[in-house]
Structure 1
Amino acid sequence: MEIHMLMVIFSTSVIAGQIQAAKLEDKEFWYKKGKDQLRKISETFAGNVFASATNVIIFIGDGMSISTITTARIYKNSKSDTNEGQPLYFENFPCVGYMKTYNVDHLVTDGAASATAMFTGSKTKEGRIGIDSTLELNCDDGKHPSSRLSSISEWAAKSSKWVGIVTNTRITDATPAAMYAHIPDRHWECDVPNEFKKCFKDIATQLVEDSPGTYIRVFLGGGLDVMGVTKSDYCRNRKKNLVEYWLNNKKRNGATFVKNAKELNDLKRTRTDFLMGLFSEGSMPYNLERDTSPTGQPSLKEMTEKALEILSKNENGFILLVENGLIDKAHHMNAVKLALDETLELEKAVELAATKTRKDRTLIIVTADHSQGLGFHGNTKRGSSLLGKAGDMNWDILFYGTGPGARRNNLSTCENDTTSSRYTANAHYYSPQSVHTGEDVVVYARGPGASLLVGNYEQSYIAHAISFAAAITAFANMITPQSYIVLLSLTLYIILSNNNITLKCR
């Protein structure tokens, strides 16, 4: 009897401990971790001046693993006959860190939970956007307001900064949606199940009806179907044209809608304060396959340039998200050539942004939301094509752990042609799509506050670092008294020395 009672007590303790652990990983848990990381880094500032960032540009290479960056670098240099070690543009950034991407309930994250972490400062469960881990899927639980996560878009808007989003996926896809939406299921882009309609709007509707979506100045990407401009099976229940709704509500503020490259490039900066551009029904085509004519789709670089033109009109500064979501989509298909080319498209957009903005005023961050299982192996000689075979062996130099490439006998001719954009690399295990992997991803940073991103940290720390660097609203709630003393000392140092020295990383 005593043994039985002890077992009951022990089991109850374990269960209570598990419940407590789960409870702890709510937004307050992650906010505290962010504060602690900021305090740790701010205490190293002595003798250096921390310059405030007027603007912040975050580049996300969806699924851009370290192996993706390495092989994209070699692939680029092999095409131009330069040394394989010649770095990509953002690899020259002075500050480098590593980010841990696991979420609250999975070691390997999805894009919704990872984007939520980066843009709100709190990790959450898989598939959730803008909502922390405490919410149960029940409209009657009364927890919806308390589980809602504010984002860097809201913080920026409250600090009179403008916000923009550029993506080559749908503008309601997981990464861009994390800048403005609050929803427990990332797939509710254009409709919500009946039992949840009383407590949630779909992502597209939140974009045009709710804060902070209504504050965002620039949206460029795909998604004509989710916005109700065109009809598809994907959004068959969409009845309202949300672009017309958005235009009618913004028309007094110089709102413009564009649908092809010419309309985007011809747009006059002085006449536009709000811009929406949708260039495809769903996600935009891969760069190697897009229509490059004037009536076709703009490149990621062109969209980035136009977004910067609009946002730079605001003297208070801006926050801009630029995502290449097609890197991940290509990896999922084991389409390695497409993935490498899209990585180079991201590089072009980064270089454009770096040359168009002032280094002393603009913090630029380049990272990934999670990794992908691209491998690079074999006794490969320098000068070899990465899209070839490893030495004398019949192995692809580049390969995947999982994906459709495991069944090469079922693939079409172009998917077996290494020169094709649809070339499908070998995979070890079959799955309809390659799956994400869980290793850390690299963070490259340049500009004011870049030194905050050196080291190894949680993915949710990114939002805290941005808030600190740009001194936007949430910053006041995340800094400690000790850090205030450090910053006041640094301010005094600036006044006395009349210098503006940015902390150097390398």
Structure 2
Amino acid sequence: MNKHTIAAALGLALASSATLAADAKNVILFIGDGMGPTVLTATRLYKVGEEGDLEMMKLPYAARIKTFSHDAQTTDSAPSMAAYTTGVKMNNEVIGMSSDTVAVAPGKDANGNKSINYCASDNGTPVPTLLELAKAAGKSVGAVTTTELTHATPAATYAHICHRDAAYAIAEQAVPGGAGFNSALKEGVDVLLGGGANHWTPYSADNPKGRADGRDLTKELQDQGYHYVTDKSALAGVASGRVLGLFSQTSHLDYDLDRQAEGAAATQPSLSEMTAKAIDLLAPNDQGYFLMVEGGRIDHALHGTNAKRALADAVALDEAVKTALGKVDLNETLVVVTADHDHTMTLNGYAAKGNKVLDLVKDKEGNPALDADGNPYTALVFGNGPNRPDHRTALTSEQVSADDYQQETGVELSSETHGGGDVMLFADGPGSRAFKGTFDNTQVFGKIKAALGL
């Protein structure tokens, strides 16, 4: 084969690869907030044991993702999620802006809520998100989360702001035709499901964390043709069109452990139910869709060193992945599952195979391992956080397996911090072969963008 034949063959191969890379009609990006490698391992042990696999782990392609931000070794959720959605490294607290943007915390309004946006017009510039690029290509888009809809991870799909805490200003960016609207979203985000209705509704005696500007963004969205729903049954009744679902008056949705405890009385949809509905509403678009789904409360439970609720929410995310895989055609839909950052939880000791991960470390006879002072210790502990006893005392299996138990920590802090470790990514569908090896979180953006041909 001469050099011209080789060149021609190489050109065809590259063209073929490019074609394959742009074969995805749809993308679903799952984010387990704070779901670092130890959380994944612990979730696997909690759900299916040592030899089982989580649904996400069954996806055929895997990678390891570096998560540092532009200005910090250990990132917060704002720049780490924004790295996935924009391909740009940002400073901690910043969402959807250029790397030179300085984080400026919002001020408090007359009602004491942090709703005054101090972002100056000369403080950095917005950078395009995958959601905006998908909209420009005629695709439908959605963001689903168990946190407030204005929280860092969902906000990074549709907003540009110099500080993640400016939740009231973030909400404005999702409202077509209103002041502050992000016009790059064209006619708006098609599916928005999460919590924190107070950021979208006006201040009142009954809504003390409401908007000081008096705007009712839920009404403004309804005037634009959106369905507005506030509970599980109402969401189930939406058959088509655009939808805003806010399932908590203030703050986030319930932890899945608590939602399950409510049983039939639960009014909040599960993450699986929200995911299924979002797919149903987005899929009819012949041009395809981009959907982000976040299991956000994994992170919150970890900050409180409450491993049981963290693992239950990680299982809920895994069930949402299973739900999505059962609804989509992997010949046209790229599914990516990853985390935005790590945490300080670790799995320690030499527990026997089959030992419950939320229990004490025990040998195969069921005898607990003992520390230097003769006290049992748990399989899961945290590097830092709010539960560092001055003197360790004897723990029991019943005590450490309780829903509200907080694992012990090495360094006393009011809230456990993120960890700076790499996180895992799993993928299947068109373009998934690009997700292998170790690479930066900003490169995830490029691989998804290429898969969609944007």
TM over 0.5: yes
Q: Map of 1:153-172 to 2, 5 A cutoff?
A: 153-172=131-150
Corresponding residue for residue 211 of structure 1: 183
Is 1:239 aligned to residue 204 of structure 2? no
Equivalent residue for 1:285? 254
Indicate how the Cα distance of structure 1 residues 408 and 325 shifts in structure 2: closer, same or farther if over 3 A, else same.
farther
| Cα distance in structure 2, aligned partners of 1:203 and 1:470 | 26
Unaligned runs of 5+ in 1: 1-41, 79-83, 191-201, 473-506
Tell me which amino acid in the other structure corresponds to 2:122.
K
| Residue type of the alignment partner of 1:386 | V
Q: Within 2, Cα distance between the matches of 1:415 and 1:186?
A: 40
Q: By how many angstroms is 1:182 displaced?
A: 1.0
Equivalent residues of 2:360, 2:397 under 8 A apart: no
Partner of 2:410: 428
User: Cα deviation per residue 1:449-487 (whole Å; 9 max; x = unaligned)?
Assistant: 001111111111111111100012xxxxxxxxxxxxxxx
Deviation at 1:419, TM superposition (A): 2.7
The alignment status of 1:460 with 2:439, answered yes or no, reads: no
User: When you count helix as a share of all residues, which structure comes out higher?
Assistant: 1
In 2, the alpha carbon distance for the partners of 1:332 and 1:304 equals 25
Residues 410/277 of structure 1: CA separation in 2 closer, same or farther (3 Å cut): farther
Q: Is the 8 A contact 1:228 1:242 kept in 2?
A: yes
Q: CA offsets per residue over residues 60-83 of structure 1, 9 Å max, x none? A: 0000010111111111125xxxxx
Equivalent residue letter for 2:70: V
What is the DSSP-based 3-state SS (H/G/I as helix, E as strand, rest coil) of the residue aligned with 1:296?
coil
Q: 1:45 to 1:398 in 2, by over 3 A?
A: farther
* Cα RMSD (Å): 2.6
Alpha-carbon distance in structure 1 between the residues aligned to 2:304 and 2:18: 50
Partners of 2:343 and 2:32 in 1: CA distance: 11
Q: Does the CA contact (< 8 Å) of 2:359 and 2:378 recur in 1? A: yes
Counterpart-to-counterpart distance in 2, 1:275 and 1:88? 30
Q: How does 1:174-253 map onto structure 2 within 5 Å?
A: 174-190=152-168, 202-208=169-175, 209-213=181-185, 214-228=187-201, 232-235=207-210, 237-248=212-223, 250-251=224-225
Relative to structure 1, the CA distance from residue 73 to residue 149 in structure 2 (aligned partners, 3 Å threshold; closer, same or farther) is: same
- The sequence identity of aligned pairs, in percent, is 31
Count of matched residue pairs: 406
User: How far 1:58 sits from its partner (Å)?
Assistant: 0.2
1:143 to 2:122 alignment:
yes
Contact 1:415 1:423 in 2 (8 A): no
Is 1:226–1:238's contact at 8 Å kept on the other side of the alignment? Answer: no
In structure 1, distance between residues paired with 2:19 and 2:211: 57
Equivalent residue number for residue 327 of structure 1:
298
**Which stretch shifts more, 173-182 or 286-295?**
286-295
Shift of 1:292: 4.0
- Listed one character per residue, the Cα deviations across residues 13-49 of structure 1 (whole Å, up to 9, x for unaligned) are xxxxxxxxxxxxxxxxxxxxxxxxxxxxx96976995
2:93–2:103 contact (8 Å) kept in structure 1:
no
For the residue of structure 2 that corresponds to 1:406, the secondary structure is: coil
Q: Kindly provide the amino acid, as one letter, of the partner of residue 284 in structure 2.
A: K
SS of equivalent to 1:179: helix
The answer (yes or no) to whether the contact 1:164–1:219 under 8 Å persists in 2 is: yes
* C-alpha distance after superposition, 1:260-291 (max 9, x if no partner): 11111222x2xx31011111121000011124
Taking a change above 3 Å as real, the CA distance of residues 93 and 229 of structure 1, as seen in their structure-2 partners, is farther
Give the equivalent residue in structure 1 for 2:151.
173
> Who is 1:31 aligned against?
none
- Match among 244, 255, 275 for residue 304 of structure 1: 275
Shift of 1:406: 1.2
Deviation string, structure 1 residues 102-127 (Cα, Å, up to 9, x no partner): 01100000000101111011011000
Of 204-213 and 358-367, more deviation after overlay is shown by: 204-213
Whether contact under 8 Å (1:153, 1:212) holds in the other structure is no
Structure 1 residue 422, shift from structure 2 partner: 1.5
The question of 1:119 aligning with 2:85 is answered yes
Distance in structure 1 (CA, Å) of the matches to 2:82 and 2:197: 24
- Give the Å deviation of 1:210: 2.5
- Please, what TM-score do these two structures have when normalized by structure 2? 0.84
Is 112-121 or 42-51 further displaced after alignment?
42-51
- Give 5+ residue unaligned stretches, structure 2: 1-12, 105-117, 176-180, 363-368, 371-375
| 1:468 partner letter | A
Q: Give the drift of 1:404.
A: 1.1
